[in-house]
Amino acid sequence: MLINDKKQSNNIVKYYGVLLVGLLIFGAGWSLGSGKINLIQQNASVQTNAPNNLDYSSVEQIYDELRQNFDGKLDNAKLLDGLKTGLVAASGDPYTEYMPPEKANDFKGQLSGTFEGIGALLGKNDKGNVIVISPIDGFPAKKAGLQPRDVIAEIDGKDASTLAVDKAVEKIRGPKGTKVKLRIIRDEKEDLTFEITREEINIPSVESKVLDSGIGYIKISRFGDDTAELSRTAAEKFKNDGVSKVILDLRGNPGGYLEAAVDVSSLWLNNKTVLQEKRDGKIIKTYSSRGTAPLEGIQTTVLIDEGSASASEITAGALHDNKAATLLGVKSFGKGSVQEPQTLKNGGLLKITVARWYTPNGKNIDKEGIQPDQKVERSEDDYKAGRDPQLDAAITKLQ
């Protein structure tokens, strides 16, 4: 997910990440914080092929039949939410979604980095299956052995193939200390079962250190509201300490704030293009680097994997296209569309795909991902044994 809030004068909030719409955390959610953002509609081209108003007479007919003949109790609020959900789903875009108030409140809990669950991110693949996007380092899902793109076939013994992402999240998350059993299909051939104990998940936005090799290491697990400051602090310290080579680790990073992605890219880029937004093939906005670039000219390798999505892909693409870094690992997730949320009068939330984003070289990576310059895989055995051949390869490359 990528959100632009504080630094845009028109207060438009844009979501680029896989957390948006089809992707939620296996937990209580990350917090945007009360009052931080003002969600308004983007001034963009109207759908010229759509009527100004819909004819709801057939909908009224269905309601009348239900009201007169249904053997049960009808909930007016649920009926209205069902209409809204179906209307939005008919767009055919998995990232355009209506959320009723309760679900909207959960969604607005994003980006604080603290929740109770198993510590993984959930989405859907092209076949409509619920999949793991990123198991987060150090937490139960990763420790148990879940991997990016694992298909969730069953949750606690019940079929998950027809579940919407939010419903799967509801079933998987829960209080710390409780357990959830997941049946996983991996690579369309392995049938695996995991029983995972939920924990309180506290996700640090940025981790930085100088490795024994003298190489500076920055790991960004999400692009939160503190990421820009923490990353710049780390970069300035590297510069003051005379660090001449850096590894930026974006593996398993699902995205976050747009402005954070631009700010992180700006640590390496001086007055360069970071990304462009396009709608109907036309550029509607260009984001450029800003401020000083303490890591400009520093030899840098960026680590990416299947769990690197959206804001991570924007940063990786910006550094790569501007020849500020080389990429190492495996192909990234591939999330190249732009979503914008609209707060509704009933407290619900409507999220709409409004544009596509492009790397500085003009590439949209949606469903394709970003290919690394050097492909290095990390096997299941590597995970279990605590080996990290991708990090090892990056260190070797920079020495």
Pair of tokens at residue 44: 């963009």
pTM of the model: 0.70
Please answer whether residues 139 and 199 qualify as being in contact, where contact means their C-beta atoms are separated by less than 8 angstroms.
yes
Q: Can you give the residue ranges of every domain in the chain?
A: 115-201, 204-337+357-398
**Domain 115-201 CATH superfamily:** PDZ domain (2.30.42.10)
Report how far residue 240's alpha carbon sits from residue 49's, in angstroms, rounded to the nearest whole number.
Answer: 58
Q: Which long-range contacts (CB under 8 A, 24 or more apart) does 292-295 make?
A: 293/266, 293/267, 293/268, 293/269, 294/232, 294/235, 294/236, 294/238, 294/239, 294/267, 295/235, 295/238, 295/239, 295/246, 295/267, 295/268
pLDDT, one tens digit for every residue, the chain (399 residues): 444 443 333 333 444 443 332 233 333 222 222 222 222 233 445 576 788 888 889 999 999 999 999 999 999 989 999 999 999 999 998 879 998 887 787 666 555 666 788 988 888 888 889 999 878 878 999 999 999 889 999 999 999 988 988 889 889 988 999 999 999 999 999 999 999 999 987 777 899 999 999 999 999 988 888 899 999 999 999 999 999 999 999 998 988 788 899 999 999 999 999 999 999 999 999 999 999 999 999 999 999 999 999 899 999 999 999 999 999 999 999 999 877 878 999 899 998 988 899 999 999 999 899 999 999 999 878 876 779 999 999 999 999
The residues assigned a catalytic role are 310, 321, 335
Q: Rounded to the nearest 5°, which phi and psi values hold at 167?
A: -70, -40
Residues in the chain: 399
**Domain 204-337+357-398 CATH superfamily:** 2-enoyl-CoA Hydratase; Chain A, domain 1 (3.90.226.10)
Report how far residue 87's alpha carbon sits from residue 95's, in angstroms, rounded to the nearest whole number.
Answer: 14
Question: Which 8-state DSSP code applies to residue 72?
Answer: S
SS3 label, residue 275: strand
